[in-house]
Amino acid sequence: MQLKSYPFVVVGLIVLVVAGWGRAMAEPVKIVVLGDSLSAGYLLPPQEAFPVQLEQALKEKGHDVTVVNAGVSGDTSSGGLSRLDWSVPEDTDAVILELGANDALRGLEPARTRENLDEIVRRLKARGVEVLVAGMLAPRNLGEDYAAAFDPIFAEIAEAHGALLYPFFLDGVAMRPELNLADGMHPTGEGVSVIVRNVLPSVEALISRVGAD
């Protein structure tokens, strides 16, 4: 009896292993948006914030994802670096890095911003986390020299670490009063929708990288 039942036991174990493997493979892709008020949803209802709208758009495209809002209003690149380990938990598959706008608004030294963002991406890639760097442009009232030092930071960091790049997070929204709050800097819910539509192909490319690991 033992010899005859042995093959059935083996088959049963294989089925259990395959089933467990299938469940593991079915886990949603976890994307953390590490950012500031632009992505956190400043003064917006929770359902209109960038991570929520992005998750909904991705699910409508058939992606099994969870998008986590790790945005902190007023955060600089230094602040993002200091909270990196607890803002991006170990089970994170990918990060959208949206930091740097407050550095420019405060006129902080671009070299320092570069160091902080570079270290964030370096640490994430060392953990096996895929990264999409969302770029920012310096306010032009800071002068051409500041812009020349600040604007290229994001593309150069992405290239150095093999990360993906979305050149300008506020593309299609900046300088459009109807898509921004009264302060002229933070997107409305409709403005966030524009950002999501524009960035979606880049985020899908990010998800593809996770799936290829």
Which two structure tokens, joined as six digits, stand for 103? 């550095």
Residue 186 bears catalytic tag: yes
Closest CA to 157 of 119, 211, 201: 119
Task: Give the orientation angle of helix 153-161 with respect to helix 110-126, to 10 degrees.
Answer: 30
CA dist., res. 198 & res. 41, Å (int): 17
CA dist., res. 209 & res. 155, Å (int): 18
Residue 63 bears catalytic tag: no
Q: End-to-end alpha-carbon separation of the chain, Å?
A: 44
**Which of these is catalytic: 36, 63, 93, 186?**
186
**Which of these is catalytic: 37, 39, 77, 87?**
37
Residue 103 bears catalytic tag: no
**Which of these is catalytic: 91, 145, 183, 213?**
183
What would the 3-class secondary structure string for 67-127 be?
EEEEECCCCCHHHHHHCHHHHCCCCCCEEEEECCHHHHHCCCCHHHHHHHHHHHHHHHHHC
58 CB-contact burial (10 Å; exposed 0-12 / middle 13-18 / buried 19+): buried
CB atoms within 10 A of CB 75: 26
What is the Cα gyration radius of the chain? 21
> What residues are annotated to the active site?
37, 183, 186
